[in-house]
Amino acid sequence: MAYRIIESCVNCWGCEPLCPSNAIQAARPHFVIDGGACTECDGDYADPQCASICPVEGAILDGLGVPVNPPGSLTGIPPEHLVQTMAEIRAR
């Protein structure tokens, strides 16, 4: 099984130096994970490193094709609270 980077990647380089398997390439239009090399960080780290630093929700999928960082997981604001939070921020 392997992780995958999809087109919402912004090429920020966060993941590339962290990968214990050197599976990530700084490709264009976006970074890619070599599916053959990715170990899911198994044996190296408790958390997959690429998905633990990636700043873009949804940019990295796990072995089952599910986003590791779903909407709201990185901003800390669940989608159902978005409208209310926005109103609070706009009132500042």
Partner 1 sequence: MALVALDRPLPTPAATPGASGGCSAGGCGSSADKLAQLPEHIRAKVHNHPCFSEEAHHHYARMHVAVAPACNIQCHYCNRKYDCSNESRPGVVSELLTPEQAVKKTLAVAAEIPQMTVLGIAGPGDPLANPERTLATFRALSKNAPDIKLCVSTNGLALPELVGEICEHNIDHVTITINCVDPEIGAKIYPWIFWNNRRIMGMKGARILIEQQQKGLQMLCDRGVLVKVNSVLIPGVNDQHLKEVSRVVKAKGAFLHNVMPLIAEPEHGSFYGLMGQRGPSDEELQALQDECAGDMAMMRHCRQCRADAVGMLGEDRGAEFTLDKVAAMDIDYEAAMKRRAEVRAVIEASRAAQQQGRSQTFIPITSLKRKKPQPAPAASPAARFAVATTGGGVIDQHFGQAREFLVYEATAAGNDLDVRFLAARKVDLYCSGGDTCGDAEDRLAKTIRTLEGCTGVLCSRIGFEPWERLEAAGLVPNGEHAMEPIEDAVAAVYRELLAEGRLDAPAKAVALSA
**Cα–chain center distance at 35:** 15
- Is residue 11 near partner 1 by the rule CB under 8 A? yes
* Minimum distance, C-beta of residue 78 to partner 1, in the bound complex (Å): 13
Residues in the chain: 92
Q: Where are the beta strands (DSSP E) in the chain?
A: 4-5, 24-25, 32-33, 60-61
d(CA 21, CA 42): 10
Residue 75, contacted partner among partner 1, ligand SF4, none, CB below 5-8 A by kind: partner 1
Least CB distance from residue 35 to partner 1, whole Å? Answer: 22
Tokens, residue 7 = 């087109």
Which residues of this protein are in contact with ligand SF4, per CB under 6 A?
3, 5, 9-15, 18-21, 23-24, 31, 33, 38-41, 48-50, 53-54, 56, 59-60
Between 10 and 82, CB nearer to ligand SF4: 10
